[in-house]
Amino acid sequence: MGRLRTNSRLAEDLLIELDRDGGVPLHRQIEASIRTSIRAGRLRAGASLPPTRTLAAGLGISRGVVVEAYQQLVAEGYLASRSGGYTQVAASMPPAAAGVGSAASMAAPTAQPATRRVDFGYGRTDVSQFPRAAWLRSIRTVLTSTPNDRFAYLDGRGMPELHQALCDYLNRVRGTLAVPGNVVVCSGYGQGISLLIQVLARRGARRIALEDPSSDDDARVLAGAAGLEVVGIPVGPDGVQVDALDPVDADALVLTPSHQWPTGGVLSAAARAEVIRWARRRGAIVVEDDYDAEYRYDRSPVGAMQGLAPDHVVYCGTASKTLAPGLRLGWMVVPAHLVADVTAAKLLADRGSPVIDQLAFADFLGRGEFDRHLRRMRPVYRRRRDALLDALRTHLPDLRPAGIAAGQHVVAWLPPDLEEAAVVAAAARHGLGIQGVGPFRIAGAGPGGLIFGYAILSESAIAEGVALLATAIQEVRGS
């Protein structure tokens, strides 16, 4: 049963069944049915019920019977009358009783995590800055001007308007060689890499290489599930070490070349050329995860690898770090020989991404709103990054920040006398959420480091968090 959000729902939404021969007055049956639904959690607090006239017409009874039932439930405190004649489930109703209602309500209670004073969690963007007014204008444009046939089933690749808008943007800003016919719209990077792995596995791929360390749990888990072996390629200060590629004999390589995650290294021009030569020799695919290239502060733009070899590189982009992850908007620029297979996999997965969101984003891009949003957000994130670096210099000068020129996170390498896991545990005891680099290593070896996500924190919270970390590290050293 769907949730009741307005008072215009049909009577059938309440699932009221009347027994006209049962001897129980009809208004009592209606009362009992609604009362049971509220107690079971099927009608949530604040949900609006149909108008008495609408419910009566749907049940084929007189309006007075429904009015009497509603009045009794109002008197009992189950319902509340609102101005304008609306009737809603009372906001003060207690939650559904144990053993009744949704699966979530029946789950065993779980221990709540300790409250964190500051959380340097990575991979988050400040969704409070989402450009709602501009997005609403695009939604209105879509709803008032889109031809009817655009709301029919899709071909799997997505909307042509978004294909063109993405190509215009990516070719202008990221230096890609994208053509509309090679763009596939997906539900974020997670779905995109899933589709690619499925296609590569069906085509006989045996091994996929990931940067080491890497946050790409999606690729690691999905590749294993598809029967592919996962190998790690060590990462140096400037990104993946290309001289380690040949020995692993991989069929695909997943890279974050413009801002390696998590170390922040930028793959040099010479290294990029060598990766392309490797891919051509092997007949391999390079998956370019361009997750946060739009946010740069102290360096010139670094073009996408896809522009060097569009026949061997799959370019993956997403709105998750720039607008909001909840949009679930992602895109791939796929080599021509993979387009049909990736499109078929997308169709099989979900029949295509939502039309209105795609068209809204196409309009948003075309009107320059995306560029304006990025220009507004870069100085916001830069100030937060600067606050982090200042605090580290003040409180923890022996930590070595890396990857600071771009993105929404910084890695700080620990001195040899500090053990990563001990620092993370001590920080948690002081109410600080922070993760180490260790859990993201494939081979499991390497220097200790901490990952500072700063995108959603105020400058004062960042300073407080680093001060807490300094206290925690002092505790570790003292013990």
Each residue's pLDDT tens digit, 221-262: 899 889 999 999 999 988 899 999 999 999 999 999 999 999
Cβ partners under 8 Å of residue 240, min gap 6: 211, 233, 234, 253, 255, 257, 260, 267, 271, 275
Q: What's the pLDDT score for residue 377?
A: 96
Mean pLDDT of the chain: 89
Averaged pLDDT, 58-85? 82
- Give the pLDDT confidence of 144-167 residue by residue, as tens digits: 999 999 999 888 899 999 999 999
Averaged pLDDT, 14-25? 83
189 Ramachandran zone, left/alpha/beta (phi>0; psi -120 to 50): alpha
Q: What's the pLDDT score for residue 92?
A: 63
Q: What is the dihedral of CA 303, 305, 307, 311, to 10 degrees?
A: -170
Over 50: is that where the pLDDT of 382 sits? Answer: yes
What is the rounded distance in angstroms from the CA atom of residue 304 to the CA atom of residue 97?
Answer: 55
Residue predicted with more confidence, 23 or 241: 241
Dig out the tokens for 474 from the structure: 């002092």
β-bridge mates for residue 221, sequence order? none
Confidence of residue 401 (pLDDT cuts 50, 70, 90): very high
Tally the residues of the chain. Answer: 479
Confidence of residue 83 (pLDDT cuts 50, 70, 90): low
Over 90: is that where the pLDDT of 68 sits? Answer: no
Distance of CA 158 to the CA centre of its chain: 19
Q: Report the percentage of the chain scoring pLDDT > 70.
A: 91
What separation in angstroms does the CA of 430 have from each of 401, 425, 475, 476? 22, 9, 10, 12
- Give the pLDDT confidence of 261-307 residue by residue, as tens digits: 999 999 999 999 999 999 999 999 999 999 988 898 887 778 999 99
Tell the residue number behind the tokens 């009741």, with chain if given. Answer: 4
Instruction: Give yes or no for a contact between 50 and 11, defined as CB atoms under 8 angstroms apart.
Output: yes
How many CB atoms within 10 Å of residue 16?
Answer: 19
User: Which regions of 246-398 does DSSP assign to beta strands (E)?
Assistant: 252-255, 285-289, 313-318, 330-333
What separation in angstroms does the CA of 300 have from each of 174, 175, 316? 12, 13, 21
Instruction: Tally helices (H) and strands (E) across the chain.
Output: 15, 16
Helices (H), 77-187: 103-106, 132-145, 160-173
Question: What value does the CA radius of gyration of the chain take, rounded to a whole number of Å?
Answer: 28
pTM for this entry: 0.79
Q: What's the pLDDT score for residue 114?
A: 54
Q: What's the pLDDT score for residue 111?
A: 40
- Give the pLDDT confidence of 103-153 residue by residue, as tens digits: 333 333 434 445 789 999 988 899 999 999 999 999 999 999 999 999 998
Over 70: is that where the pLDDT of 11 sits? Answer: no
Dig out the tokens for 108 from the structure: 């065993």
Distance of CA 268 to the CA centre of its chain: 29
Dig out the tokens for 42 from the structure: 């099927």
Q: Residue 478 in 3-state DSSP?
A: helix
Q: Which of 357, 249, 266 is nearest to 305 (CA)?
A: 266
What is the rounded distance in angstroms from the CA atom of residue 243 to the CA atom of residue 277?
Answer: 12
**Longest pairwise C-alpha distance within the chain:** 87
Confidence of residue 13 (pLDDT cuts 50, 70, 90): low
Q: What's the pLDDT score for residue 330?
A: 97
Confidence of residue 80 (pLDDT cuts 50, 70, 90): confident
Over 90: is that where the pLDDT of 364 sits? Answer: yes
What is the rounded distance in angstroms from the CA atom of residue 331 to the CA atom of residue 290?
Answer: 11
Over 70: is that where the pLDDT of 219 sits? Answer: yes
Q: What's the pLDDT score for residue 6?
A: 37
Residue predicted with more confidence, 67 or 195: 195
How many CB atoms within 10 Å of residue 224?
Answer: 13
- Give the pLDDT confidence of 310-352 residue by residue, as tens digits: 999 999 999 999 999 999 999 999 999 999 999 999 999 999 9
Based on the number of CB atoms within 10 Å of its own CB, is 405 exposed (0-12), middle (13-18) or buried (19 or more)? Answer: middle
- In angstroms, the first-to-last Cα distance of the chain is 58
Confidence of residue 42 (pLDDT cuts 50, 70, 90): confident
Instruction: Give yes or no for a contact between 208 and 222, defined as CB atoms under 8 angstroms apart.
Output: no
- Give the pLDDT confidence of 343-362 residue by residue, as tens digits: 999 999 999 999 999 999 99
* Structural domains for the chain: 11-106 (1.10.10.10), 118-125+375-478 (3.90.1150.10), 129-371 (3.40.640.10)
